[in-house]
């Protein structure tokens, strides 16, 4: 036993001398060396390569095309025109960029505000759980996982002015019927209603996740102090849901600004350009009229608007959190 102890002491002393001399491979030194090693870049290389090929390269190529009068049939005949495509955005063409931008903001504002309020309200109703409420959760989330193309076609029939479900309900209630998607006044609200129905399930799931991790002690203390349901929500629940709300607003803002399928399937940008948003105008100019350079300029502007809105929301949410 004494022999073993003496050997252990000798080995430990030798290790300490090696550490002081810089010969031993200390664990902290190994970790630092691994982090600084160029070999570490091999691990994220596949993901970075995919991101570069399918995101960075197409984005750079789109910016490049936006500075040309692009010839689709013979790209060698394309003419460099600098920022002329961007100047054309503010011309008086029909439909104009500014009017399409306004419709995009109108659609985005309605879906973001309406989706956030509706999603939070439904989540508050469903947070208790139970077999019946769990079934309702599935029913609310089901539209979100269905294809937008299929559900858009179904809602075209719902909004049919002759025999659609929407006008049938209005007739039962003895209310005047509408043309819905055939009306320049009601076409955009019709698409907004469909978008809220299709996307609210995702918002509800996010808010249910946020509600599941809230502090129950604060709510119980508020109820013991005599707070009613509204006071409890406004002063206890809502402040704790601010991070989730910010995430919901940012995500729904991005998706609504880039929405295209429902406009293509339900109204084709009409009638009278009433539902021609920036995304649909981009498709129309680039793939129907073959104004590829102008369409690329629209894509760049849409990207910048989306990025600016996202940064604005992050800046505002950080200031709110700081003040809170």
Would you place residue 15 in the very low, low, confident or very high pLDDT band (cuts 50, 70, 90)? very low
Taking all residues of the chain, what is their mean pLDDT, rounded to a whole number? 83
Residue range(s) defining the domain that contains residue 183: 91-323
* Position with higher pLDDT, 311 vs 106: 106
Question: Is residue 148 predicted with pLDDT exceeding 90?
Answer: yes
User: CA–CA separation, 77 vs 87, rounded Å?
Assistant: 22
Q: Residue 196: its pLDDT value, please?
A: 95
Question: Is residue 277 predicted with pLDDT exceeding 60?
Answer: yes
Segment (H or E) for 123: helix 97-126
Residue 115 sits in a domain whose CATH number is 1.10.3720.10
Asked if residue 141 belongs to a domain, the reply is yes
Asked if residue 15 belongs to a domain, the reply is no
Asked if residue 184 belongs to a domain, the reply is yes
Average pLDDT over residues 47-73: 91
Percent of the chain with pLDDT over 70: 83
Q: What's the number of domains the chain is made of?
A: 1
Q: Are 225 and 165 in contact (CB under 8 A)?
A: no
Q: Residue 36: its pLDDT value, please?
A: 67
User: CA–CA separation, 83 vs 81, rounded Å?
Assistant: 6
Asked if residue 56 belongs to a domain, the reply is no
Sorted by sequence, the CB contacts under 8 Å of residue 297 that are 6+ apart come out as: 66, 85, 86, 88, 89
Asked if residue 225 belongs to a domain, the reply is yes
Of 160-169, 216-225, 272-281, which gets the smallest average pLDDT?
216-225
């Amino acid at each position: 036993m004494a022999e073993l102890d003496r050997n252990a002491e000798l080995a430990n002393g030798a290790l300490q001398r090696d550490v002081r001399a810089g010969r031993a491979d200390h664990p902290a030194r190994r970790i630092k060396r691994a982090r600084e090693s160029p070999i570490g870049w091999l691990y994220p290389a596949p993901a970075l390569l995919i991101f570069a090929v399918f995101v960075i390269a197409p984005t750079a190529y789109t910016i490049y095309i936006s500075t040309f009068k692009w010839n689709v049939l013979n790209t060698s005949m394309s003419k460099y025109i600098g920022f002329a495509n961007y100047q054309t955005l503010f011309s008086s063409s029909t439909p104009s960029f500014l009017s399409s931008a306004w419709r995009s903001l109108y659609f985005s504002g309605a879906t973001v505000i309406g989706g956030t309020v509706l999603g939070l309200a439904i989540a508050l109703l469903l947070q208790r759980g139970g077999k019946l409420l769990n079934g309702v959760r599935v029913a609310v989330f089901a539209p979100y996982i269905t294809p937008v193309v299929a559900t858009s076609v179904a809602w075209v029939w719902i909004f049919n002015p002759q025999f659609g479900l929407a006008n049938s309900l209005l007739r039962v209630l003895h209310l005047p019927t509408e043309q819905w998607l055939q009306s320049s006044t009601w076409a955009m609200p019709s698409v907004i209603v469909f978008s809220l129905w299709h996307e609210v399930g995702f918002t509800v799931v996010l808010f249910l996740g946020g509600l599941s991790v809230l502090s129950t002690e604060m709510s119980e203390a508020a109820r013991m102090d005599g707070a009613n349901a509204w006071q409890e929500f406004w002063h206890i629940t809502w402040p704790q849901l601010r991070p989730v709300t910010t995430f919901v607003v940012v995500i729904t803002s991005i998706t609504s600004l880039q929405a295209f399928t429902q406009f293509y399937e339900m109204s084709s940008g009409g009638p009278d350009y009433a539902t021609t948003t920036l995304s649909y105008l981009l498709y129309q100019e680039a793939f129907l009229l073959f104004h590829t350079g102008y369409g690329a300029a629209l894509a760049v502007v849409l990207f910048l608007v989306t990025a600016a809105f996202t940064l604005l929301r992050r800046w505002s949410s950080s200031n709110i959190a700081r003040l809170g």
